[in-house]
Amino acid sequence: MRVHDLVPPTTWSRRYGQINRFEEGVVADGATVVKVMLHLSPAEQKARLGERLERGDKYWKYNPGDLDERAHWVEYMEAYQVALERCSTAAAPWHVVPADNKWYARLAVTNLLLEALEGMDPQWPAADFDVDAERERLALSP
């Protein structure tokens, strides 16, 4: 929206606060928010687009409009920077992960999710039946 002037600046600038209030409410209700931006360099994006044009099994991933959008790289980076700065809060921080190397990006995201899950300390739900009685019934069944 910001890059192509689809809405006025007053609209998109107001949305940062709306996003923050929404995420704060979600966290206050007990949810954990993990926000990740996978950051590609322009060179890596170009290489991946090229691979999609070279391999028939990757044509489905190619969008001709991607080349048009590459012309706005600097504007997109500026918009991302502002959004990351304005919407990274204690309740819901942004994590920018370098993604030129897929193995590294996957490892980094896995570690972020693992850390979040460990902080949540999820537990299996307790049985709502008599486990010993059910074991006995199972043992006696044909």
At residue 11, the pLDDT reads 87
Give me 2's structure tokens: 């910001």
Structural domains of the chain ordered from first start: 9-122 (3.40.50.300)
Q: Where are the beta strands (DSSP E) in the chain?
A: 35-39, 94-98
At residue 35, the pLDDT reads 98
Q: How far apart are CA 104 and CA 13, in angstroms?
A: 33
Encode 24-34: b = buried (16+ Cβ within 10 Å), e = exposed.
eeeeeeeeeee
Q: Does 47 have pLDDT greater than 90?
A: yes
The terminus-to-terminus CA distance of the chain in angstroms comes to 65
pLDDT confidence bin for 2, thresholds 50/70/90: confident
Residue range 67-103, pLDDT digits in tens = 999 999 999 999 999 999 999 999 999 999 999 999 9
Q: How far apart are CA 95 and CA 74, in angstroms?
A: 20
Q: Does 60 have pLDDT greater than 90?
A: yes
Q: How far apart are CA 106 and CA 113, in angstroms?
A: 11
Residue range 101-142, pLDDT digits in tens = 999 999 999 999 999 999 999 999 999 999 999 999 999 999
pLDDT confidence bin for 9, thresholds 50/70/90: confident
